[in-house]
Amino acid sequence: MKVSHYFEGEGTVTGGFAQSVHNQRAILDRHGIEYTTDPTLDADLLHLNNMGPRSVYWAKRARRAGVPVLAHTHNTAADFRDSFVFSNLLSYPLKPWLAYAYGHADHLVCPSEHNREVIAGYTDTPATVISNGFDGDRFAGYDNPDLRTEYLERYDLEPPVVFMFGHVIKRKGLETFVETARAMPDTDFAWFGYLAPTGGRFDRFLQPRETRRLVGESPDNCTFTGYIEDPRGAPAAGDILFWPSHNENEGMALLEMMHCGVPPVVRAIPTYGWLED
């Protein structure tokens, strides 16, 4: 079996989206399944992860050629909002586009039951819920005392540390995080992650003014570390995960931190109906 495992925007799109693609390929490698990262009809399956124009083009070609098309539903209009400049405006045409795009797949993979319910309002394409999962090996050794000391000292943090892990965007509860830190001046808060949507060279153009204001006017006990090369640094230094996100398709970073045994405080949104108090 050969899979055409195509990720439109690879190298530009970052975060949990990109990590999910990495996880999928790790599983393909583990099971000895041949795959190419290029879109091609010379395959038994076309597996798409980001339904942009090029992915839809190849989905159409694959359907005509009799090659089955599988698509991950990482994107929804709601999840797109409050992320970068003009994202709220672009979210309106995004929904009909995604309905059109997902309709070109033979089957959809949804990362959560909530995501599946949202996508059901887009298209009647058959769908199966499969978690994005996570690679626990990335966090092996997170509980090393020396690593904890290193990250606490690097960012001048005093335990207990309340933290967030992921891209710094408004949708993920940035305002709530900052204002909670302001209301608790004797507790250190730290947000580990990119300070812009792509984590790349277009940051200064894509970061909304409101995001810059919230970060710039945050209190002294609220630290934004930016990207950290060693993801273990977050659970090593952090004691309580504060996850005030307003919308998630799954939230891989939350699963990763729970894997590390970090107690989470999570906003009660539909995605996390499976969590118990």
Smallest Cα–Cα separation from 132: which of 254, 266, 235? 254
For the segment 141-188, what is each residue's pLDDT rounded down to a tens digit?
A: 999 999 999 999 999 999 999 999 999 999 999 999 999 999 999 999
Query: Which pLDDT belongs to residue 86?
Result: 65
**What percent of the chain is helix, strand and coil (3-state, nearest 5)?**
40, 15, 45
What are the structural domains of the chain?
A: 2-129 (3.40.50.2000), 142-272 (3.40.50.2000)
- Using a 10 angstrom Cβ sphere, with 0-12 exposed, 13-18 middle and 19 or more buried, the burial of residue 15 is middle
Structure tokens at 70: 């599988």
pLDDT confidence band for 200 (50 / 70 / 90): low
- Using a 10 angstrom Cβ sphere, with 0-12 exposed, 13-18 middle and 19 or more buried, the burial of residue 115 is buried
Query: Which pLDDT belongs to residue 12?
Result: 83
- Dihedral sign for Cα 57, 58, 60, 65, please: positive
Mean pLDDT of the chain: 93
Q: Count of CB atoms within 10 A of residue 151's CB?
A: 22
Instruction: Average the pLDDT over 79-94 and give the result.
Output: 77
